[in-house]
Amino acid sequence: MSILRPEIVSELNDNYARFVESVRFREGEDFYSHDFPTLELSYNENPLGPGKLAQEALRRHVAFAHRYPPLGYGVLINELARRLALLPENVVVTAGSVTAIYLAVLQRADPGDEVIFSKSSIPWYRWSTLANKSIPVIVPLTANMNHDLDGLADRVSDKTRVVIISNPHNPTGIYIPEGELRAFHARLPEHVLLIVDQAYYEYQSCQEDVLLRLVTRVPNLMLVRTFSKIHGLAGLRVGYGIANADIVKTLKAHWLPFMPAITSVSAYAAYHALFDEEHLTESVRFNNHVKEAIYKLASQNGLTCFESEANFVAVNIKDSRVNEKVFHQNALAFTAGYSFGYPEWARISFDRRADEMLEKLAGTFAQIQGTM
């Protein structure tokens, strides 16, 4: 039996404790209101919340919370497969997309095997690897803060079993055209699974299907998507993996011991969210409006930022550890780059109180510029 080493147990629990501490203000129910005094710009949530159709489903199904959920989740999986022009056996629904990633690492990598990914603000790639007793191989981003595809490919060895790429990347929001990712996939040995994390797919200005059309024809590619972002259901924990039928079967086999992990309320809210075109359109419109406004504010204050294909913007504030207090003085919670190894950057998500948020950001950027 392979036991998780005490030092790894300590590291993961320490990571968890720090993560919990960073969002301690969410522990009170007062946070879950529309007038919480601190604007929460940390976690890339959809500030508009769930759409009307999902909310109606939540109200309808909460009265039946005493019923176990539909264990096959067929309604949701069938609709996803129809929209993706795939078969139901190509889709697995999981408790958030990070669960699909962990199950894939669990299946493909043994203790001592390597999992490669870029330096990122997402801790779950590393956590999934360590919890599986595998070895994380973290590749720095390029000088322009994008995935270093050549660097990732160069680190592939006989011990590599999984490569994970977020696209658009978190924390930069930079998007890599799928033709480049298909060429990268072609460089990988067949025993190496490429996972492409497409959490922000619906926010992209160009929603390509190059990888989607490839995924059923190869044995080593999986896409993961989520209802946590544009659908506004982060609190319900619904994600899904897209892959060939053999990969999906193995994920389901690992998932079986702790299913059902998704509630019926979550499953039906996600299903109805797929049909809410009005909410999706408004979410994209709001997102693009706020992004452009932040680009303008940053430029006016001599700060640079990336053109983001996601629902956040990365802004260069020179020293996020020093300037973190400026954000907090202005009642703004954000993700400081020093926490994920890029101290000059701030990742800023959006709040539904757009005018108030932009006013506070304008003052914050001006204060930061005044100290530079």
Domain final position from 206, 238, 273 = 273
Give yes or no for residue 324 having a pLDDT over 60. Answer: yes
- Contact (CB, 8 A) for 347 and 335: yes
> Between 123 and 76, whose confidence is greater?
76
Q: Would residue 99 count as lying in a domain?
A: yes
Is residue 267 domain-shared with residue 319, that is, in the same domain?
no
Is residue 236 domain-shared with residue 147, that is, in the same domain?
yes
Is residue 303 domain-shared with residue 359, that is, in the same domain?
yes
Give yes or no for residue 111 having a pLDDT over 60. Answer: yes
Is residue 263 domain-shared with residue 316, that is, in the same domain?
no
Is residue 351 domain-shared with residue 222, that is, in the same domain?
no
Give yes or no for residue 24 having a pLDDT over 90. Answer: no
* pLDDT at site 196: 98
Q: Would residue 54 count as lying in a domain?
A: no
Q: Would residue 245 count as lying in a domain?
A: yes
Is residue 265 domain-shared with residue 286, that is, in the same domain?
no
Is residue 262 domain-shared with residue 282, that is, in the same domain?
no
Helix 124-131 × helix 6-22 angle, to 10°: 150
Domain final position from 273, 306, 326 = 273
Range(s) of the domain holding residue 223: 66-273
Residue in the block written with tokens 């005018």:
355
β-pairing, 221-226 vs 239-242, is antiparallel
Residue in the block written with tokens 């996972």:
195
327: confidence class by pLDDT, cuts 50, 70, 90:
very high
Q: What gap in Å lies between CA 117 and CA 138, rounded to an integer? A: 5
Is residue 71 domain-shared with residue 184, that is, in the same domain?
yes
Q: What gap in Å lies between CA 207 and CA 134, rounded to an integer? A: 33
Domain final position from 238, 273, 308 = 273
For the chain, how many structural domains are there in total? 2
- Rounded to an integer, the average pLDDT of 324-347 is 91
* pLDDT at site 20: 82
Q: Would residue 1 count as lying in a domain?
A: no
> Between 370 and 163, whose confidence is greater?
163
Helix 52-61 × helix 264-273 angle, to 10°: 150
Is residue 235 domain-shared with residue 86, that is, in the same domain?
yes
- Rounded to an integer, the average pLDDT of 246-272 is 91
Mean pLDDT for the chain? Answer: 93
- Rounded to an integer, the average pLDDT of 154-181 is 96
* pLDDT at site 1: 43
Q: Would residue 351 count as lying in a domain?
A: yes
Q: Would residue 59 count as lying in a domain?
A: no
Query: What is the tens place of the pLDDT at every residue in 33-90?
Result: 888 889 999 999 999 999 999 999 999 999 999 999 988 899 999 999 999 999 999 9
* pLDDT at site 19: 81
Q: Would residue 58 count as lying in a domain?
A: no
Give yes or no for residue 271 having a pLDDT over 50. Answer: yes
Is residue 143 domain-shared with residue 217, that is, in the same domain?
yes
Report in angstroms the alpha-carbon separations of 217 from 146, 221, 222, 311.
28, 9, 11, 31
Q: Would residue 173 count as lying in a domain?
A: yes
Structure tokens at 234: 């982060």
Give yes or no for residue 121 having a pLDDT over 80. Answer: no
Query: What is the tens place of the pLDDT at every residue in 210-224?
Result: 999 999 999 999 999
- Contact (CB, 8 A) for 94 and 255: yes
Is residue 188 domain-shared with residue 201, that is, in the same domain?
yes
* pLDDT at site 2: 65
Residue 120 buriedness (CB in 10 A; 0-12 / 13-18 / 19+): buried
How many other CB atoms are found less than 10 A from the CB of residue 114? Answer: 20
DSSP classification of residue 4: P
Q: What is the CATH number of the domain that holds 233?
A: 3.40.640.10
- Contact (CB, 8 A) for 173 and 309: yes
Nearest-CA neighbor of 249 among 131, 124, 68, 107?
107
Is residue 257 domain-shared with residue 327, that is, in the same domain?
no
